[in-house]
Amino acid sequence: MDRLTPLPHAYRLARRDAQPSGTVVMLPNGAAFGGETVAICAGPCSVESREQIRSTAQTVAARGANVLRGGAFKPRTSPYAFQGLGADALKLLREAADACELSVVTEVMDPREVELVCAHADMVQIGARNMQNFSLLREVGESGKPVLLKRGLSATIHEWLMAAEYLLVSGNPNVVLCERGVRSFDNATRNLLDLSAVPLLRTLTHLPVIVDPSHGTGLAALVAPMGLAALAAGADGLLVEVHPNPSAAASDGQQSLSFEQFGAFMRQAEVVARAVGRAVPAATFAT
Ligand code: PEP
Ligand code: MN
Protein backbone atom coordinates (compact mmCIF):
# COMPACT_ATOMS: atom_id res chain seq x y z
CA MET A 1 0.00 0.00 0.00
CA ASP A 2 1.51 3.34 -0.95
CA ARG A 3 -1.21 5.62 0.43
CA LEU A 4 -2.34 6.12 3.99
CA THR A 5 -5.77 7.52 4.79
CA PRO A 6 -5.38 10.21 7.48
CA LEU A 7 -7.46 9.91 10.64
CA PRO A 8 -10.34 12.41 10.67
CA HIS A 9 -9.12 14.13 13.84
CA ALA A 10 -5.38 14.08 13.11
CA TYR A 11 -3.27 17.04 11.99
CA ARG A 12 -5.43 18.20 9.11
CA LEU A 13 -3.83 21.67 8.83
CA ALA A 14 -0.24 20.55 9.37
CA ARG A 15 -0.33 17.60 7.01
CA ARG A 16 1.76 17.78 3.87
CA ASP A 17 -1.06 17.85 1.35
CA ALA A 18 -2.67 20.90 3.01
CA GLN A 19 0.17 22.91 1.39
CA PRO A 20 2.05 20.63 -1.00
CA SER A 21 4.61 23.24 -2.08
CA GLY A 22 5.77 23.69 1.53
CA THR A 23 5.45 26.61 3.92
CA VAL A 24 8.09 29.33 4.13
CA VAL A 25 8.14 31.27 7.40
CA MET A 26 9.69 34.73 7.04
CA LEU A 27 11.07 37.04 9.72
CA PRO A 28 11.31 40.85 9.37
CA ASN A 29 15.02 40.92 8.46
CA GLY A 30 14.44 38.48 5.60
CA ALA A 31 15.46 35.33 7.47
CA ALA A 32 13.45 32.50 5.94
CA PHE A 33 12.64 29.01 7.18
CA GLY A 34 11.82 26.75 4.25
CA GLY A 35 13.56 28.64 1.45
CA GLU A 36 16.72 27.81 -0.47
CA THR A 37 18.80 29.74 2.06
CA VAL A 38 18.63 28.05 5.45
CA ALA A 39 18.03 30.00 8.67
CA ILE A 40 20.84 30.10 11.21
CA CYS A 41 19.71 30.94 14.76
CA ALA A 42 22.64 31.43 17.12
CA GLY A 43 23.32 32.92 20.52
CA PRO A 44 23.66 32.08 24.18
CA CYS A 45 21.40 29.78 26.14
CA SER A 46 20.63 32.72 28.46
CA VAL A 47 21.03 36.45 28.04
CA GLU A 48 23.42 37.39 30.85
CA SER A 49 24.49 41.00 30.23
CA ARG A 50 24.45 43.76 27.59
CA GLU A 51 28.07 43.11 26.69
CA GLN A 52 27.58 39.34 26.44
CA ILE A 53 24.65 39.56 24.04
CA ARG A 54 26.12 42.49 22.05
CA SER A 55 29.44 40.72 21.36
CA THR A 56 27.64 37.46 20.55
CA ALA A 57 25.25 39.18 18.15
CA GLN A 58 28.12 40.87 16.31
CA THR A 59 30.13 37.67 16.06
CA VAL A 60 27.33 35.40 14.87
CA ALA A 61 26.07 38.03 12.37
CA ALA A 62 29.57 38.34 10.97
CA ARG A 63 29.73 34.55 10.46
CA GLY A 64 26.36 34.23 8.70
CA ALA A 65 23.73 33.76 11.39
CA ASN A 66 20.52 35.67 10.66
CA VAL A 67 18.54 35.11 13.87
CA LEU A 68 19.77 35.92 17.38
CA ARG A 69 18.66 33.52 20.09
CA GLY A 70 18.92 34.04 23.84
CA GLY A 71 16.81 32.97 26.79
CA ALA A 72 15.10 35.67 28.85
CA PHE A 73 12.71 33.34 30.70
CA LYS A 74 14.50 30.04 31.34
CA PRO A 75 12.85 26.68 32.05
CA ARG A 76 15.30 25.29 34.61
CA THR A 77 15.05 21.90 36.30
CA SER A 78 16.01 23.47 39.62
CA PRO A 79 14.16 26.46 41.03
CA TYR A 80 17.50 27.54 42.54
CA ALA A 81 19.26 27.74 39.14
CA PHE A 82 19.51 30.99 37.14
CA GLN A 83 16.02 31.75 35.84
CA GLY A 84 16.95 34.38 33.24
CA LEU A 85 16.91 38.19 33.32
CA GLY A 86 13.28 38.34 32.16
CA ALA A 87 11.99 41.59 30.68
CA ASP A 88 15.44 43.24 30.87
CA ALA A 89 16.84 40.47 28.68
CA LEU A 90 14.16 41.08 26.05
CA LYS A 91 15.33 44.69 25.68
CA LEU A 92 19.00 43.68 25.54
CA LEU A 93 18.26 41.08 22.85
CA ARG A 94 16.34 43.58 20.74
CA GLU A 95 19.06 46.22 21.00
CA ALA A 96 21.85 43.75 20.15
CA ALA A 97 19.93 42.24 17.22
CA ASP A 98 18.91 45.58 15.70
CA ALA A 99 22.53 46.76 15.66
CA CYS A 100 23.44 43.77 13.42
CA GLU A 101 20.26 43.33 11.31
CA LEU A 102 19.36 40.10 13.09
CA SER A 103 15.88 38.89 14.01
CA VAL A 104 15.22 37.71 17.58
CA VAL A 105 13.90 34.34 18.78
CA THR A 106 13.32 33.78 22.49
CA GLU A 107 11.29 31.42 24.63
CA VAL A 108 7.95 32.19 26.21
CA MET A 109 6.90 29.93 29.10
CA ASP A 110 3.77 31.54 30.46
CA PRO A 111 0.57 32.46 28.58
CA ARG A 112 0.49 35.68 30.65
CA GLU A 113 3.85 36.73 29.16
CA VAL A 114 3.05 36.14 25.48
CA GLU A 115 2.16 39.80 24.89
CA LEU A 116 5.37 41.02 26.54
CA VAL A 117 7.62 38.60 24.65
CA CYS A 118 5.85 39.34 21.35
CA ALA A 119 6.47 43.06 21.86
CA HIS A 120 10.24 42.47 21.66
CA ALA A 121 10.79 39.25 19.69
CA ASP A 122 10.31 38.44 16.00
CA MET A 123 9.72 34.76 16.73
CA VAL A 124 8.68 33.04 19.95
CA GLN A 125 10.05 29.70 21.03
CA ILE A 126 7.90 27.12 22.74
CA GLY A 127 10.36 24.97 24.63
CA ALA A 128 10.49 21.20 24.86
CA ARG A 129 8.98 21.23 28.35
CA ASN A 130 5.97 23.19 27.11
CA MET A 131 5.28 21.42 23.82
CA GLN A 132 1.98 20.13 25.20
CA ASN A 133 1.08 23.20 27.26
CA PHE A 134 -2.14 23.61 25.35
CA SER A 135 -3.15 26.96 26.82
CA LEU A 136 0.29 28.35 25.87
CA LEU A 137 -0.07 26.92 22.36
CA ARG A 138 -3.46 28.59 21.94
CA GLU A 139 -2.21 31.95 23.25
CA VAL A 140 0.84 31.92 20.95
CA GLY A 141 -1.38 30.73 18.12
CA GLU A 142 -3.67 33.73 18.59
CA SER A 143 -0.70 36.14 18.63
CA GLY A 144 0.10 35.29 14.99
CA LYS A 145 3.84 35.72 15.75
CA PRO A 146 6.16 33.24 13.99
CA VAL A 147 6.76 30.35 16.37
CA LEU A 148 9.56 27.86 16.88
CA LEU A 149 7.99 24.72 18.32
CA LYS A 150 10.55 22.45 19.93
CA ARG A 151 9.96 18.73 20.11
CA GLY A 152 8.92 17.61 23.61
CA LEU A 153 11.38 15.70 25.80
CA SER A 154 9.73 12.38 24.97
CA ALA A 155 7.21 13.41 22.33
CA THR A 156 6.36 11.19 19.41
CA ILE A 157 6.29 12.74 15.95
CA HIS A 158 2.50 12.44 16.03
CA GLU A 159 2.21 14.30 19.35
CA TRP A 160 4.55 17.00 18.05
CA LEU A 161 2.47 17.50 14.90
CA MET A 162 -0.70 17.64 16.99
CA ALA A 163 0.92 20.41 19.07
CA ALA A 164 1.69 22.27 15.82
CA GLU A 165 -1.96 21.76 14.89
CA TYR A 166 -3.02 23.70 18.02
CA LEU A 167 -1.01 26.68 16.76
CA LEU A 168 -2.39 26.40 13.22
CA VAL A 169 -6.00 25.98 14.29
CA SER A 170 -5.65 29.04 16.55
CA GLY A 171 -4.98 31.07 13.41
CA ASN A 172 -1.18 31.12 13.24
CA PRO A 173 0.26 29.70 9.99
CA ASN A 174 3.88 30.68 10.86
CA VAL A 175 5.04 27.52 12.57
CA VAL A 176 8.56 26.06 12.42
CA LEU A 177 9.37 22.69 14.01
CA CYS A 178 12.67 22.24 15.88
CA GLU A 179 14.10 18.77 16.51
CA ARG A 180 16.19 18.96 19.70
CA GLY A 181 16.59 15.34 20.69
CA VAL A 182 14.53 13.08 22.91
CA ARG A 183 15.17 11.19 26.13
CA SER A 184 16.72 7.77 25.64
CA PHE A 185 18.02 4.91 27.76
CA ASP A 186 21.56 6.20 27.25
CA ASN A 187 22.94 9.21 29.11
CA ALA A 188 26.22 9.31 27.14
CA THR A 189 24.69 12.31 25.36
CA ARG A 190 22.16 14.69 26.92
CA ASN A 191 19.48 13.60 24.44
CA LEU A 192 19.24 11.34 21.42
CA LEU A 193 19.13 13.64 18.38
CA ASP A 194 16.61 12.18 15.95
CA LEU A 195 17.84 13.31 12.54
CA SER A 196 15.53 10.85 10.83
CA ALA A 197 12.75 13.21 11.96
CA VAL A 198 13.88 15.71 9.30
CA PRO A 199 13.22 13.66 6.13
CA LEU A 200 10.27 11.93 7.82
CA LEU A 201 8.56 15.23 8.65
CA ARG A 202 9.17 16.35 5.08
CA THR A 203 6.73 13.63 3.97
CA LEU A 204 4.21 14.26 6.76
CA THR A 205 4.00 18.06 6.95
CA HIS A 206 4.46 21.22 4.91
CA LEU A 207 5.96 23.03 7.92
CA PRO A 208 9.68 23.93 7.92
CA VAL A 209 11.94 21.83 10.17
CA ILE A 210 15.14 22.98 11.86
CA VAL A 211 17.56 21.13 14.14
CA ASP A 212 19.15 22.12 17.46
CA PRO A 213 22.36 20.09 17.80
CA SER A 214 23.23 21.90 21.05
CA HIS A 215 20.39 20.54 23.21
CA GLY A 216 20.31 17.48 20.94
CA THR A 217 23.73 16.33 22.12
CA GLY A 218 24.62 18.42 25.17
CA LEU A 219 28.29 18.34 24.16
CA ALA A 220 30.07 21.17 22.32
CA ALA A 221 32.34 18.72 20.45
CA LEU A 222 29.29 17.06 18.84
CA VAL A 223 27.51 20.23 17.77
CA ALA A 224 29.40 20.83 14.50
CA PRO A 225 29.25 17.24 13.18
CA MET A 226 25.55 16.88 14.02
CA GLY A 227 24.73 20.36 12.70
CA LEU A 228 26.39 19.43 9.39
CA ALA A 229 24.52 16.11 9.35
CA ALA A 230 21.26 17.99 9.93
CA LEU A 231 21.91 20.17 6.88
CA ALA A 232 22.77 17.07 4.85
CA ALA A 233 19.46 15.51 5.98
CA GLY A 234 17.59 18.51 4.58
CA ALA A 235 17.01 20.75 7.62
CA ASP A 236 15.67 24.22 6.84
CA GLY A 237 17.88 25.73 9.48
CA LEU A 238 19.83 25.26 12.70
CA LEU A 239 19.69 26.57 16.23
CA VAL A 240 23.12 26.69 17.86
CA GLU A 241 24.16 27.90 21.31
CA VAL A 242 27.16 30.27 21.19
CA HIS A 243 28.77 32.01 24.16
CA PRO A 244 31.78 34.38 24.49
CA ASN A 245 33.17 32.18 27.29
CA PRO A 246 31.35 28.83 27.44
CA SER A 247 33.04 27.68 30.64
CA ALA A 248 31.60 30.70 32.48
CA ALA A 249 28.06 30.49 31.00
CA ALA A 250 25.12 30.79 33.42
CA SER A 251 23.44 27.85 31.64
CA ASP A 252 24.36 25.16 29.10
CA GLY A 253 28.05 26.10 28.85
CA GLN A 254 29.09 22.49 28.12
CA GLN A 255 27.12 22.48 24.87
CA SER A 256 27.89 26.07 23.80
CA LEU A 257 30.33 26.91 21.01
CA SER A 258 32.98 29.60 21.47
CA PHE A 259 33.13 32.37 18.87
CA GLU A 260 36.05 30.63 17.19
CA GLN A 261 34.27 27.26 17.10
CA PHE A 262 31.15 28.88 15.63
CA GLY A 263 33.21 30.55 12.90
CA ALA A 264 34.85 27.26 11.95
CA PHE A 265 31.47 25.53 11.97
CA MET A 266 29.90 28.09 9.63
CA ARG A 267 32.71 27.66 7.11
CA GLN A 268 31.92 23.93 6.99
CA ALA A 269 28.17 24.56 6.98
CA GLU A 270 28.50 26.64 3.83
CA VAL A 271 30.12 23.72 2.00
CA VAL A 272 27.56 21.15 3.17
CA ALA A 273 24.61 23.45 2.41
CA ARG A 274 25.92 23.95 -1.12
CA ALA A 275 26.32 20.20 -1.59
CA VAL A 276 22.59 19.71 -0.95
CA GLY A 277 21.41 22.64 -3.06
CA ARG A 278 21.04 25.13 -0.20
CA ALA A 279 22.99 28.18 0.99
CA VAL A 280 23.84 29.75 4.33
CA PRO A 281 22.87 33.40 4.90
CA ALA A 282 25.22 36.23 3.95
CA ALA A 283 27.00 37.98 6.83
CA THR A 284 25.21 41.14 8.00
CA PHE A 285 28.02 42.51 10.15
CA ALA A 286 31.75 42.94 9.63
CA THR A 287 34.15 42.40 12.53
C1 PEP B 1 16.81 26.43 25.01
O2 PEP B 1 16.67 26.60 23.77
O3 PEP B 1 17.68 27.02 25.69
C4 PEP B 1 15.99 25.38 25.66
C5 PEP B 1 15.73 25.42 26.97
O6 PEP B 1 15.60 24.42 24.80
P7 PEP B 1 14.71 23.09 25.02
O8 PEP B 1 13.34 23.58 25.31
O9 PEP B 1 14.84 22.40 23.70
O10 PEP B 1 15.32 22.31 26.15
MN1 MN C 1 19.96 26.01 26.52
C-beta separation of 242 from 212 below 8 A:
no
Query: Quick one: which atom of ligand 1 is closest to the CA of 74?
Result: 5
Query: Quick one: which atom of ligand 1 is closest to the CA of 251?
Result: 3
Pocket test for ligand 1, best of 41, 212, 241 (most atoms within 8 A of CB): 212
193 C-alpha to center of ligand 2: Å? 15
Q: Which residues, judged by CB distance below 6 Å to any ligand atom, belong to the binding site of ligand 1?
A: 45, 71, 75, 127-129, 150, 180, 215
- Tens-digit pLDDT profile for the chain (287 aa)? 577 766 677 999 999 999 999 999 999 999 999 999 999 999 999 999 999 999 999 999 999 999 999 999 999 999 999 999 999 999 999 999 999 999 999 999 999 999 999 999 999 999 999 999 999 999 999 999 999 999 999 999 999 999 999 999 999 999 999 999 999 999 999 999 999 999 999 999 999 999 999 999 999 999 999 999 999 999 999 999 999 999 999 999 999 999 999 999 999 999 999 999 999 999 988 88
The span from the CA of 192 to the CA of 217, in Å, is 7
pLDDT at 26: 98
CA angle 287, 55, 116 (to 5 degrees): 130
Q: Length of the chain in residues, anyone? A: 287
Which ligand gives the minimal distance to the CA of 125?
Answer: 1
190 C-alpha to center of ligand 1: Å? 12
Which ligand gives the minimal distance to the CA of 150?
Answer: 1
C-alpha distances out from residue 285 to 63, 91, 99, 179, 279, Å: 8, 20, 9, 28, 18
The residue contributing the CA closest to ligand 1 atom 4 is 127
CA angle 25, 30, 33 (to 5 degrees): 30
Closest CA to 254 of 220, 216, 226, 212: 220
pLDDT at 36: 98
216 C-alpha to center of ligand 1: Å? 10
pLDDT at 3: 76
Radius of gyration for the alpha carbons in the chain, expressed in angstroms and rounded: 17
Pocket test for ligand 1, best of 125, 150, 214 (most atoms within 8 A of CB): 150
Q: Which domains does the chain have, with CATH numbers?
A: 37-275 (3.20.20.70)
Within 10 Å of residue 275's Cβ, how many Cβ atoms? 11
